[in-house]
Amino acid sequence: MHLSDIDVAVITVPTPLTRDDQPDLGQVLACLDALVPHLRPGVVVVLESTTYPGTTDELVAPMLAERTGLVVGRDLHIGFSPERIDPGNPTFTLGNTPKLVSGVTAACRSAVDEFYRSIGVLTVPVSGTREAEFAKLLENTFRLVNIALVNEVAEYAHRRGLDIWESVRAAGTKPFGFMQFVPGPGVGGHCIPIDPRYLSWESQRSVGLELGLVEHALGVNRRRPEVVVQVAVDELARRGLVPPDAHVLLVGLAYKKNVGDLRESPSLRVHALLTDAGARVTVVDPVIAAPAHGDVRVLRGIAEVELGDVDLAILVTDHDDIDYAALVAAGVPVVDTRNRLTGTSVVTI
């Protein structure tokens, strides 16, 4: 199919951050540039890429209208419909997850809604594109803040000798007023570490309001790999070792269980901190396709590791396809960030 034959264009490119933590819409703008010569009356353009409130109304629509001469809402229908895909989730898919739909005008929203319903998607109309853009940021900021809360109190629990995981499970038995989040090594992926920064940046830019809670949550989760490494260093010290004398096995490099995605993975930061401290680090991850990521060599399984030579293991990402029994049977001390293992040689944080 040639681009000039399209009826609907859906933009789903990444919206990362620049080096100074500013929104980077470069890939969105590149898509718009590519679309302009092929747009004609009747085409629907939908932005799905996560962005700050105002992007569709204030940037996408004016740019396309000016460069095509088409009237938005009459000749050209433009809307925003954030993606809600949870990689690796077997329960909630595109088919059974409600999808927010919005448009620059009421006619635009109707056209966007009709497109998604025509492919079997359950839609939830939202009054405006800014509200839909804000809703997407709110979803991921909610997760960021709650993960940061449990990560912060997990550090307290570890120092106090409390079992954070049991306490989270206990609190989760309350049928109202509590939603269960669990601690981990930090947050990764293209959403939670990134999207709240879009909201914080836009709030400061547009109304001069600093979102202190959001900024603190970003900082807590960013610091979490340092906490994990400090626990590992403490465990090595208990055994009379320091990082330059230690061989550390890092289990899991991807940011999420059973998903081969390395974007913003906290495991990469854990690896960098251990390497900077002088430790010899071996990485195992059965779902990463490449045998190396930059300078990081990745083994496929525990069987490829001489466990007798490992002083400490850190379980960062608990993929199902890992031989945990072999790790435990070898008696390797483990810092477990996912509460996957049990035993006297396991330290769960």
Q: Residues near 19 by Cβ (< 8 Å), separated by ≥ 6?
A: none
Domain count, the chain: 3
Cβ–Cβ under 8 Å, residues 287 and 259 = yes
Q: How sure is the predictor about 63, in pLDDT bands with cuts at 50, 70 and 90?
A: very high
Q: Tens digits of per-residue pLDDT, 16-46?
A: 999 999 999 999 999 999 999 999 999 999 9
Q: If you search the block for the tokens 């996408």, which residue do you land on?
A: 60
Report if residue 159 sits inside a domain. yes
CATH number at residue 196: 1.10.1040.10
Query: Of 127, 158, 179, which closes a domain?
Result: 127
- Residue 253: domain span: 225-348
Q: Do 259 and 209 lie in a common domain?
A: no
Cβ–Cβ under 8 Å, residues 146 and 179 = yes
Q: Do 172 and 117 lie in a common domain?
A: no
Q: How many C-beta neighbours within 10 Å does residue 213 have? A: 15
Q: Provide the sign of the torsion angle of the four alpha carbons 85, 91, 94, 98, taken in this order.
A: negative
Q: Residues near 237 by Cβ (< 8 Å), separated by ≥ 6?
A: none
Mean pLDDT of 317-341: 95
Residues with catalytic roles: 191
CATH number at residue 10: 3.40.50.720
Mean pLDDT of 89-114: 93
Q: Do 203 and 249 lie in a common domain?
A: no
Report if residue 141 sits inside a domain. yes
| β-pair partners for 99 | 123
Q: Residues near 167 by Cβ (< 8 Å), separated by ≥ 6?
A: 157
End-to-end CA distance of the chain, in Å? Answer: 53
Query: Of 169, 198, 216, which closes a domain?
Result: 216
Is a pLDDT exceeding 90 seen at residue 87?
no
pTM: 0.93
Q: Nearest to residue 257, comparing CAs of 332, 326, 319?
A: 319
